[in-house]
Structure formats: structure tokens, C-alpha cells
Structure 1
């Protein structure tokens, strides 16, 4: 259904309510609906160049960094990210700025009208999903904003993801870990193959030198099959930089972003532009310090590979300080593997529950920690109260960390009377 009659844009409250209502229908994979939806909008993805970012971790950070680098090289640049933390409009950026409420609502209104036309001829179990509607709205808005290039983060996987409709010139694979195995397959090679289906004939695929060897083998085969060029990104950026984005993982993401920007521009990067992009790019919810006394960090690590890198960062910065972690983990994650990475560094843990209905109960996390030999846990189902408790337990000279899920981070960043984030 459309949100309002033709010619009238919905309010932001109506647009977000419409999107949240689509969560009831869950996820459906495949690009057929998406292509029909975009056709109804005039195929906006054909009106700008694009860089497509896939991977298990680091997609949002790398997407933001590539967009910042391209903007610093004079390109009018858009970006599409997921998920958001507080506002849906955070997912769509034009020249580094989040889309405003009025513009976002209008974009959703246009996409919803096109979706109603697609749904009218579809079976009840083949209607447009929330992520498809968001993606179509984003691509349409970026085309209307007359961007030169859009840097687009994939959702889940690649082959059947709604973003796999882009005629992208450059694709980026950040890394591959064992995630979403029920959908993407049981091995690193299986998951890499799903993600790398976004590689376009004759395009350029950029990967990190540290990419898992099984994923690299798949990348080489896909590039050979599709006549694409494979670029192994250097381990360091082309010039020394001071990164505003904190965390060990960002030191790997930024050189990858530089290699992707160079591949798109087809020339060496300007040193001043590289330094400026590094100094100004902030990634919300990724090693984000929100307070001091004690230092209070929010980090959206949400799988074992992410926790391994998070633990590496913590070992660098703790310096003997007392660490108290607030944890909420979704039920489709390998929580045990995540806890094994983090628990040895913690003095105490506070188990909580994000607003996402797929979050594990705090008592389940507590039981799992005990099974791993870690009985020093507290239970507090309310995330803000859990973080307040962690700060108290850490003491003014310690470190309080909230992690395990971006939905937990969203709960902690959202104003008390704010609208909730999507559960998908």
C-alpha cells in the first residue's frame, strides 16, 4: 500500500512506521523483486557510478572511508549503509551528511508507491521487503541528489542481496568469516563465493592482503571467470595518517579504502586528501568513546572475528586498567566463540538484552559464561542501566565497554524518547 495519496509525501513518523511494519514479513532473498522495484523508479542505479562493499566485518567503516576519500578528490559522493543506530536516515549519506527527515520520508514515499505496484502483481509471499524498500529509496535519492559515485554496503551476503543490482566499477571484499552459515554456507569458501557474486564482468575487485587463503582462492577464480582485475591492497595507506576512527581494525580498513578509491579514480591518491579523509572520518558505533572517568566505549563487534580484533585493540589500550563489559548477543551468533575472545580481559561482565527480539536472554549469556569458567557476571536487562552499572564497577580509572550487537549500541545511543531502530 502507499503511505499517502499521490503527490503527498509522508511524515517521518509515517515513513518509519511503514518500514517497521515490513519487519513482520522478515527476509526474502533474491534480486527479482528489487529489479522490478527499481524499474518502477526509473532504474536510478544506472544514473551514477558505484563502488560495492561486501564482507563479514568492517563494511560500514570501509564504506564511509571510501566515500570520504572520493569526496576529498572532488567527487560528489553518496553512501548507503546498514544498519542505522538511531534514525533510518543515517543509512543514506550525501557528501558525508545523513539524509534529513523530510528528504528521507519523501524517498520512502516514492519507493513505497513503486513497491505497491510491484506487490499488486505478486504472490502474498513475494512482496517487497523492508531492506529492499530501503535500498531502492536510497538509490533513488542518491540519483536525485546527482551524486557522481555511490559507495554501497551490502546487507547479508551478496548473491541474493538487494544491493546486487549495481553495475559497479569497483567491488571491495573486506574479509570473510564464518557468519550466517544457515544462509551463506558452512565454509569460508562457500561464504566468499556468495559475497563475491557481486563482482561485475571487467570490473576491479579490491581485497586485503590478509584475506583468508580460501577466500582469496575464490576471489582469484571469480575474477578469472568474469574478466575482472584483482587488486591486493597494501597493509598501510599511501602516506602516514592520523586516523580519527579508533580501534585496531580501522588501521586495516583504511588502507583497503585507499586501494578501492585509487582503483575507482584510476590514479594515485592526493596525499593531502588522504590525510584529510583519515582525520575527519568518524564511524558511529565502532570504538566510539562516549564518556570518560571511566572511559566508556561502544563497539558494534558482533561475531567471533570482530571480537578477536576488538580483543586486540583492548590489549593495546587497557594498560592494566579494570575492564567491565556490557554484553548483548543475537541468537544467530556464535556467542561462545565471542565470549572466549573477550572474557579473559574482563574483570566483570554485565549481561543485558537489546531491544532486538533475537537477542539472547541475559541469563543465557550468564550461563554460557559460567560454562566457559567465568562466573563473575551480573544481570541487568535494561541496557542504559547495565552500562551505568558497568561504569560503577569499572571505577573512574577503568574502562567500560558495551559490545556484542549493533542493536545494543543503538539502544545506548538513542535518546530516552527516541524512535527505535529496525530489528533487521
Structure 2
């Protein structure tokens, strides 16, 4: 490869090693397949751009992206310069790497991709056919180089499906956040829930001083047993050491109180939809108190939460009628969306579903059909994914009011033609949500602090 000149070429570099190897990989377990040591080698060849930087790692099964965004936003509002690394993106890969809400510009992305090209090629030449440099590790290298250049004060990093063997886990993190842990990715992380918990808590390392555990339900006892073995200096549990209470979800967001040992924050207003986001916000408050070194000024917290944007996660993108977009691709995630719709009090809902064939499209359709006046099957205007041929037939087995329109724009027009519709839900894969954002002309490169 003779240098990188476009954003597309930079993205191709990040996926190049994985795409070369994926057809040769027989093993499924992360412990055998994923090799964060290759990311550490890449960082050493780059001069260890992570050295001297501060990191908060966020792992879990649900809500880790929202929690990472809430933490980064609140710290930005407190005057810190904050890097944020999340996945996946909606429209452009740049969205995964932000400082104070602004995505890395194309010029910096391309320049830094060229900087990692030489070390990447050196490592790549020594790998077996079934070994690869993780795309997340390569993207993380770009992020850390950029964060170092821009002198961020602290960086919030979202982990992938696991934790222990994720490429981001090469970072020395003083803070670790564990969002709800569920039974997921059992082929890669299992076979037992104890194994899944061990993977998620793998981000707690000897240098990790502060650990925050969000609401966990049935998984909490397993987490506490494992936490006793890890013995970090400070562990804070939601519901025991801090909590959100008086949660009141509504049409335009959520009102709630947060209580911590340092302070009480009454009637905070959060623009994100869903009662579960209040729990994520409470985690963010507790983390930021400890990073900040004291109680958060109330007006700062309220102003931050009232204005925060997190695209594609139960996001209200229009009001007349209400249009909500969410990237749910399985039954559990769709159930959270159902809670949000019910909390808004909308009765005449038209749902537009576009879930790929290799995801739980039947689970999503099953949940959504239960509260929808009409259900429309669709697909995005641009996608390399395969969508199920039997989705409409399955939808019609659950409701007589199901139809199919392609692409998304046609489905939206059909939804708008429905009489008395008071909400349109667009749910499915990230490329579908990106399509919706483009239709509504919404910017994703700068989502504000």
C-alpha cells in the first residue's frame, strides 16, 4: 500500500488484517482468537502514545456506550478536555473518535492512519494466516495518537463485547465502569455466566483504583464474588453507594434525582429517553465526582444532561409526529425500546424494522409488533449486509397490518401517510439508523459537549 489518501483507504487499513484472516479462523473463543498483545506491540512501535494519559474504561452488556458518553460529556462541562472512543459508528468511522463531542477530522484521521501504516505492515508480515491485528486496536492507536496531540486531560474508552481480551484493555485505567452484564456472546465469552463476568471484569487491573458497578440484577452476586478476588481499592455499587430515584420518563426525556455520599442532585433533566438512562446518568455523576474530586455543581450537571446528544440510541429526531430511532438488533434491546415507547404514552405507533438476517430479526419483530399500529419491513439505502427474505412473512404471522417497503425513505413516506399516527419508530442495524439521520439532515461530526 503506497500511502493512504482518503478516509475510505484509512478505514480499509483498519479492517485489512481481520478481513485477510477471518476465513481461516476456526476457533471462536476470545481467549484463543483475540490478541491484544499485538496492539501493545503496535503501540510500542509508535512510541507508546498512551503513556502519561488518563483512561476510564467502560465494559458491560448494555448501556456502556451511553454511559461512556454521559461521563465524557459531564467532564467536558466541568472544563476538562475529554477524549471519547466508542463503537460502532453510524455514518462515518470518524464518529468513533471524539474530543469534547467533535469527531476526528478526515485530515487528521488520514494522516494518523499513515503514521500507523509502517508499524502495522511490520507486524502483519509476521502473522499466521489465522492471526490478525484487531480493527479496534488499530482504531485505538489512531485515537490515542490524536488524544496525545491534542493534550486531552482524560479519555473515556468503551470496551467491545468482552473486556479482558479486548484490544482497549492494553490501556492502564485508573477507573473502571461495569454496566449491566447479561448472558450474551456465549460462544465467544462463555460457556458459563461466570466466564462472561470474568471477561467483563477483566478491565480491572492492578493500577485500577476505582470501580463502579451499575444495576446488575441476577448477575450481582457473581460480580461480587469475582470482585473480592480482584480487590480493587475502591468499589461502588449502584443501589448501595449511589442511585437514581424518583425516575420519571416522559416524551422528551427523563427527570430523576441522584443521590451519592457527596451530594444530592434533585430533579435532573436528561434529554435521553428511557428510565434506564437515569441509572447510566447516576453512574456518570458518581464517576465524575471522584475524577473531579468533589460534588458536581448542580447547574453544571443539569445543563449537561438536558442538552446531551447520543445519536441512534432511543433518540428523538423529530416531534410532529415523534420519530424515534434505535439500533436494537435483538429481543432484549427491543424490550428496552418498548419501555421507552410506553413511557411516552404514544398509542398510534408505526414501526419500521430493518434488522439483518444474521441478527435476531424475529425477536425484534416479535416485540415491536406487540405495540405497533402498523409494522413496516425495510432496509437501508446503502448496506453490505444481507436482510431476511422471510421477515415480512414472519411479521404477518403476528399482525395483519404488516407491509414491506425498500429503501427506508419509501417506508418513512408510507408511515407518514398513515392516519392519526403519533409516533414513528425506526429500529434496526446501524446503517439503517445512519440512513434515517441522513434523511433528517442531522450532523454527526459535532454532537456538542
Give me the TM-score of the superposition, normalised by structure 1.
Answer: 0.87
Distance 1:2 1:197, change over 3 A: farther
Q: Say if 2:304 is the partner of 1:296.
A: no
Aligned CA distance change for structure 1 residues 91 and 340 (closer, same or farther; 3 Å)? same
Partner of 1:244: 271
**Which runs of 5 or more residues in structure 2 are unaligned?**
23-32, 245-257, 259-263, 443-449
TM-superposed CA distance for 1:375, in Å, is: 3.9
> For residues 192-233 of structure 1, what are the alpha-carbon distances to aligned partners after superposition, in whole Å with 9 as ceiling and x for unaligned?
22211111225222112x31222x223223322222132113
Q: Contact 2:174/2:209 (CA < 8 Å) preserved in 1?
A: yes
CA distance in 1, matches of 2:192, 2:362: 19
Identify the residue that residue 235 of structure 1 maps to in structure 2.
Answer: 243
Q: 1:123 aligns with which of 99, 106, 128?
A: 128
Report if the CA contact (8 A) 2:136-2:168 is conserved.
no
Rounded to whole Å, the distance in 2 between the matches of 1:292 and 1:338 is 24
Cα distance in 2, alignment partners of residues 16 and 31 from structure 1: 20
What is the RMSD computed on CA atoms of the aligned residues? 2.6
Q: Do the aligned residues in 2 keep the contact of 1:300 with 1:403 (CA within 8 Å)? A: yes
Structure 2 CA distance for aligned equivalents of residues 246 and 340 of structure 1: 22
Q: Which residue of 2 aligns with 1:78?
A: 83
1:411 aligns with 2:435: yes
Change (3 A) 1:254 1:388: same
Shift of 1:344: 1.0
TM-superposed deviation, 1:256: 1.5
Residues 300 and 404 in structure 1, CA contact (< 8 A), matched pair in contact too: yes
Query: Partner of 2:351 in structure 1?
Result: 325
Match of 2:222 in 1: 218
Q: CA deviation at 1:266?
A: 4.2
Relative to 1, partners in 2 of residues 1:26 and 1:382: Cα closer, same or farther, differing over 3 Å?
Answer: farther
- SS for the counterpart of 2:163 is coil
Gaps of 5+ in 1: 5-9, 419-424
- The answer to whether residue 374 in structure 2 is matched with residue 348 in structure 1 is yes
Q: CA deviation at 1:281?
A: 1.4
Contact 2:36 2:137 in 1 (8 A): no
Partner of 1:364: 390
- Residues 248 and 309, structure 1, Cα contact 8 Å, conserved in 2: no
2 CA distance for matches of 1:352 and 1:189?
38
Whole-Å separation in 2 of the counterparts to 1:124 and 1:187 = 30
1:96 corresponds, among 98, 101, 111, to 101
Report runs of 4+ in structure 1 exceeding 6 Å deviation.
415-418
Residues 1:24 and 2:19 aligned together: yes
Q: 2:110 aligns with which of 101, 105, 110?
A: 105
Whole-angstrom CA distance in 2 between matches of 1:308 and 1:271:
32
Q: Is residue 190 of structure 2 the alignment partner of residue 163 of structure 1?
A: no
Q: Could you say which residue in structure 1 is the equivalent of 2:364?
A: 338
| Aligned-partner Cα distance in 2 for 1:122–1:99 | 30
Equivalenced residues, count: 407
